[in-house]
Amino acid sequence: MSLPSRDDVDPEYRFDLTRIYETPADWESAREQLETRLADLDAAAADPPDSAADLRSLLETTEDCYRRKQRLELYARLSRNVATNDEDADDRLRRYRDLESTFEPTVAAARRAIVALDGDRFDACLDDVDATAESPGWRRYAERLRESASHARSAEVEEAVATFEDARTAPVRIVREVTTGDFDPPTVEGPDGDAAEVRDGNFRTELSRKDRDYRRRVYEAYHAEMDRFEHVLTRAYAEKLQVAAAEADLRGYDSALDRTFHGDVYPKSGLTFELPTTAHEAMVDAVRDNLGAYHRAREVRRERLGVDELRPWDLSVSIVDDDPPDLSYEEAREHVVAALEPLGDEYVDRVRSFFDQRRVDVFPTQDKRTDIPAYCPSSAADGAFVLANFREDVRTTFYVVHELGHAINVEYNREGPTRYAACPEPVSEVPSILHELLLAEHFLAEDGALAAAARNRLLEFLGGNFYRAAWGSAFTHRLIRVVENGKEVTPGRAREAWSNLQSEFEAPVVYDDRAGRNWLGKGKREVYSNYQYVLGASGALAARERLRSGDLTASEYRQFLRSTGREDQLALFERLGCDLTTATPYERAAEAFDGYVDAVAR
Partners of 379 in the beta sheet? 383
We report the CATH number of the domain holding residue 122 as 1.20.140.70
| pLDDT value of position 1 | 55
Structural domain that includes position 54: 6-165
3 state DSSP class of 416? coil
3 state DSSP class of 388? strand
Q: In this structure, are residues 282 and 581 in contact, taking their beta carbons and an 8 Å threshold?
A: yes
Do the domain assignments include residue 599?
A: no
Question: What is the rounded average pLDDT for all residues in the chain?
Answer: 94
| pLDDT value of position 413 | 96
State how far the alpha carbon of 486 is from the alpha carbons of 257, 259, 472, 527, in Å.
16, 18, 22, 18
Do the domain assignments include residue 573?
A: no
Distance in angstroms (rounded) separating the CA atoms of residues 538 and 531? 11
Do the domain assignments include residue 44?
A: yes
Do the domain assignments include residue 75?
A: yes
Q: In this structure, are residues 537 and 466 in contact, taking their beta carbons and an 8 Å threshold?
A: yes
Element (H, E) at 426: helix 425-446
Q: In this structure, are residues 274 and 425 in contact, taking their beta carbons and an 8 Å threshold?
A: no
3 state DSSP class of 379? strand
* Three-point CA angle 155, 159, 162, nearest 5°: 140
For range 227-246, the mean pLDDT: 96
| Of residues 463, 472, 585, the one with CA closest to residue 528 | 472
Do the domain assignments include residue 584?
A: no
| Number of domains present in the structure of the chain | 1
Do the domain assignments include residue 429?
A: no
3 state DSSP class of 361? strand
| Of residues 399, 416, 419, the one with CA closest to residue 407 | 399
Q: What is the pLDDT of residues 244-296, one digit of tens each?
A: 999 999 999 999 999 999 989 999 999 999 999 999 999 999 999 999 999 99
Q: What is the pLDDT of residues 91-116, one digit of tens each?
A: 999 999 999 989 989 999 999 999 99
Residue 447's CB is within 10 A of a number of other CB atoms, namely 10
For range 580-595, the mean pLDDT: 97
On the 0-12 / 13-18 / 19+ scale of CB atoms within 10 A, 195 is: exposed
Q: In this structure, are residues 541 and 473 in contact, taking their beta carbons and an 8 Å threshold?
A: no
Q: What is the 3-state secondary structure (H, E, C) of 541-584?
A: HHHHHHHHHCCCCHHHHHHHHHCCCCCCHHHHHHHCCCCCCCCH
For range 575-591, the mean pLDDT: 97
Q: In this structure, are residues 146 and 111 in contact, taking their beta carbons and an 8 Å threshold?
A: yes
| Of residues 117, 168, 179, 105, the one with CA closest to residue 142 | 117
- Residue 536 predicted with pLDDT over 70: yes
Do the domain assignments include residue 15?
A: yes
| Of residues 41, 254, 57, the one with CA closest to residue 142 | 57
| Residue 173, CB-side half-sphere exposure with 13 Å CA sphere | 6
Q: What is the pLDDT of residues 423-465, one digit of tens each?
A: 999 999 999 999 999 999 999 999 889 999 998 899 999 999 9
Phi, psi of 264 (to 5 degrees): -85, 150
Tally DSSP H helices, then E strands, for the chain: 25, 7
| Of residues 181, 7, 27, the one with CA closest to residue 82 | 7
| pLDDT value of position 275 | 95
Residue 322's pLDDT band, with cuts at 50, 70 and 90, is confident
Residue 321's pLDDT band, with cuts at 50, 70 and 90, is confident
Residues of the chain with pLDDT > 90, as a percent, come to 86
Which is it for the CA torsion 69, 71, 74, 78, positive or negative? negative
Q: What is the 3-state secondary structure (H, E, C) of 189-253?
A: ECCCCCEEECCCCCHHHHCCCCCHHHHHHHHHHHHHHHHCCHHHHHHHHHHHHHHHHHHHHHCCC
Pairing state of beta strands 386-388 and 360-361? parallel
* Non-local CB neighbours of 551 within 8 Å, separated by 6+ positions: 577
- Residue 514 predicted with pLDDT over 80: no
Do the domain assignments include residue 443?
A: no
Can you give the C-alpha Rg of the chain in angstroms? 24
3 state DSSP class of 384? strand
| Of residues 380, 386, 322, 325, the one with CA closest to residue 355 | 386
| Of residues 67, 80, 15, the one with CA closest to residue 41 | 67
- Residue 478 predicted with pLDDT over 60: yes
For range 35-49, the mean pLDDT: 95
In order, the DSSP letters of 92-119 are HHHHHHHHHHHHHHHHHHHHHHHHTS-H
